[in-house]
Amino acid sequence: MIKDKSYRQIVFLSGKGGTGKTTFTAAFAKLLKNKIVIDCDVDAANLYLLLKPSGNKESVFIGCKKAAIDLLKCTGCGLCEEVCRFDAIKNFVVDQISCEGCGFCVRVCPDNAISFEPNISGIFFKGKLEDDSVFFHARLNPGEGNSGKLVTEIKKEALTNIDEKTEWILIDGPPGIGCPVNASLAGSDFVVLIAEATLTGLHDLKRLIELLKTFKFRHGIIINKYDLNEEITRAICDLANDNGIEIFGLIAFNPDFVRSLQLGKTIIEHNPDIKTQIEEIWSKIKFEIPTHQI
């Protein structure tokens, strides 16, 4: 029997860091009920600082395997160092930070002296918000790769917590257009782009829009700090108009955004006027989110 999907998955993205993406994600998370919230910026997760989940349960993340040389078996032929394209092997010792886990050295070693063991690359956390919603975030260990794989892992775990009451999955995505962004987008119904009125903000927004067009994700834009440079704001509006993209709202620069972060509060808890603006923006976003069937 075909029935309506019980939830909608929304991703908040920005072409660059510092646009206010996490600030807006936190604000919408405070507004909405019956939700699951995921911070997919695994290299620099900070949404938990505003939403303050409790009872965090830790799980280890196995990213990739890493090589290690057994000097008791090694005959010192040097073949492993010769073939390692990442320069991770020096004097028959594998640098665990530089090793990318390709396994080539393991294959070519004539003495079977190189082990290839799973490597703990990070941790992901499951907690509860004050309204009993489930919250996920993760921490990738310094120097580790596989951030996209970690994003996929926490999203997969989050989806096991969906029940008949779940209406929304809110995802705070990483900045840019790389692998973790693509992993954040998987399975999403709509993307909200947070842009800022700066030259770099415009440049990186263009790249992100091209990515979303390629993968055919529906999306709209919030322009934050629009009054920093109204010429660039007009350029963003022109870009949106040329691509048929909805502008959901223009938010002026306001020191209360910084002040709310200093106090560890979401902006809607700190400033009622901005809360009203964000509620109006949400009413527009909600109208644009497609209702599809499964």
pLDDT (tens digit, 9 = 90+) per residue, 113-123?
999 988 888 89
Helix (H, G, I), strand (E, B) or coil at 201: helix
Same domain for 75 and 102? yes
| Residue 126 confidence (pLDDT) above 60 | yes
Mean pLDDT computed over 191-206: 96
| Residue 143 confidence (pLDDT) above 80 | no
How far apart, in Å, are the Cα atoms of 141 and each of 117, 120, 169? 17, 8, 26
Query: Which of 64, 63, 54, 37 is CA-nearest to residue 137?
Result: 37
pLDDT at site 137? 95
Confidence of residue 1 (pLDDT cuts 50, 70, 90): very low
Same domain for 93 and 14? no
pLDDT at site 3? 42
293 is a domain residue? no
CA dist 223 and 176 (Å) reads 17
Same domain for 104 and 173? no
Note whether 42 and 150 are within 8 A (CB): yes
CB environment 27-50: b (16+ within 10 A), e (fewer): bbbbbbeebbbbbbbbbebebbeb
CATH (domain of 89): 3.30.70.20
Same domain for 103 and 191? no
Same domain for 172 and 248? yes
Range of the domain at 72: 63-120
pLDDT at site 170? 97
